[in-house]
A = this chain, B = another copy of it.
Amino acid sequence: MNNKINIAIIGLGQIGIFLYNELGLKKRYIEKITGKKINIIAISAKKKDKKRRFKIDKKIFYSNPLNIFKDEKIDILFECVGLSDGISKKIIEKALKNKIHVITPNKALIAKHGDFLSSLAEKNNVNLEFEASVAGGIPILRTLKESLNTNKLSKVYGILNGTTNYILTEMENSNLPFDKVLKRAQQLGYAEPNNPKLDLNGFDAFAKVRILSALAFKNKISKNKCIMEGIEKIELKDIKIASKLNLRIKLLGISEIIDNRLFETVHPCLVKKNSYIGNVNGVMNAVITHGKPIGESVLQGEGAGPGPTSSSLLSDLISVLKNNVNKPFGLSSSKRKKIKAFNINNYTNSLYLRFEVKDKPGVLSLITNRLAKYKISIKRIIQTPDKKNIKATIVIITHKTSEINIKNCLSIFKKNKYILIPPTLIRLYS
């Protein structure tokens, strides 16, 4: 690489514009530690004249990012558009084919096309870096690739989505229902204003789980069928009951090797209030790894927002500028293996089941009998009557039971004349 480095930034949303400004501020420092002079010579976004947090140099603005490749000699390209396909994929493909290093925080795209794009990068002898795609400012990918890489890892899990963690924390702290807290999160910029669905339904966390697995277990990005549940069904009532039981609800992403098979999941979990993970609150993310001989490691930090994301993007930039040799997934694509999927039906957990029922004699025995029939044994029952409305809330904590039983549970307890709404089911995590 030359000593003068030409940079393009595609996408000037929250992340892109912050990065643009940071590169300006830190140009000198970057030169000091790498000996390379960086120069932003092209930027691109949909609208040239949109109001942005920082002023842009309109002379280097492109409406069509694909034109940049014709006009300019780019060394490093930042993709900050964020689509899982479409223009994001097109730009990255084109860049790699043109022997341009690519840096991106785009988890949806890496989780979907990471294998293909990493092969392409390796073939063209350039880097494809995506530290910022998982857990914002937490350097978990570099840690997996460069620091824990000789350990035999068995598990990597954690809180991987700041939006949902903020919402769950805020529901507990402010005693407000989901909808109201979601609105507040949107006002504060912690949730997408238009379509927050991908955060709320677990999709975002799941993309991160796929990427983490690939780095931790050196496998191709899995396409296995897995459990993906979000927090949309969590009610304030559940949070309050959990609190009385000294538990807290967290959306966990989990990737684990069980019996040499890969198991990946995202779902809400009840964790102990006094546990480590139970105290990672607000927009914080945390990733925990288990491995030999290293033991347990924890990394925690701000999981979202332009500041932490930009910190990770710049760490990728410096790695590229230092000519560090990096296979995108730490190991060349041809050496990464496929790992068979663990059978979801054999995944076991204790369950929290909340029933809203008519307060009639026999309802509780109806529920417990059905659970017994499916061999789900009960650890604890808390029944709270609502005398005024002749209703009751029944919470049942079960012993460990397999996922196949969980499915049964949900189908046998459909709404009927005694069970007023389908029960809420949350897995306990220990």
Query: A residues engaging B (CB < 8 A)?
Result: 18, 22, 26, 29-30, 32-33, 131, 137-139, 142-143, 146-151, 274, 276, 279, 286, 292-302, 306-308, 310-312, 314-315, 318-319, 322-325, 330-331, 335
Contacts and interface: CB of A to CB of B under 8 A. Distances in A.
A108 to B, nearest CB: 23
Contacts of A315: 146-150
B325 A308 contact: no
10 contacts: A18-B293, A22-B293, A33-B330, A139-B143, A274-B274, A276-B279, A293-B306, A293-B311, A294-B307, A296-B302
Contacts of A324: 322, 324-325
Given A293-B306, A325-B324, A151 B299 contact: no
Nearest to A313: B150
Contacts of A279: 274, 276, 279
Nearest to A323: B325
A33 B331 contact: yes
Contacts of A142: 142-143, 146-147
B32 A148 contact: no
Contact of A137 (B146, B297, B299, B318): B297
Contacts of A292: 307
B307 A302 contact: no
Nearest to A29: B150
A112 B276 CA distance: 36
B308 A294 contact: yes
A275 B274 CA distance: 10
Contact of A307 (B32, B276, B293, B310): B293
Q: How many copies does the complex hold?
A: 2
A111 B64 CA distance: 53
Contacts of A307: 292-295
A422 B26 CA distance: 52
A380 B164 CA distance: 41
A297 B293 contact: no
Nearest to A303: B295
Contacts of A297: 137-138, 299-302
A32 B294 contact: no
A293 B311 CA distance: 7
A88 B147 CA distance: 25
Given A139-B147, A148-B311, A276-B279, 6 more contacts: A142-B147, A147-B312, A149-B314, A295-B302, A296-B301, A297-B302
A302 to B, nearest CB: 4
A30 B319 contact: no
Contacts of A296: 301-302
B335 A308 contact: no
A276 to B, nearest CB: 7
Residue with the highest number of chain B CB atoms closer than 10 Å, among A33, A292, A331: A33
A294 B33 contact: no
Contacts of A138: 297
| A-B residue pairs, 8 tightest by C-beta | A293-B307, A139-B147, A298-B300, A297-B301, A150-B314, A295-B302, A294-B311, A137-B294
A133 to B, nearest CB: 14
A147 B147 CA distance: 12
A344 B134 CA distance: 40
A149 B33 contact: yes
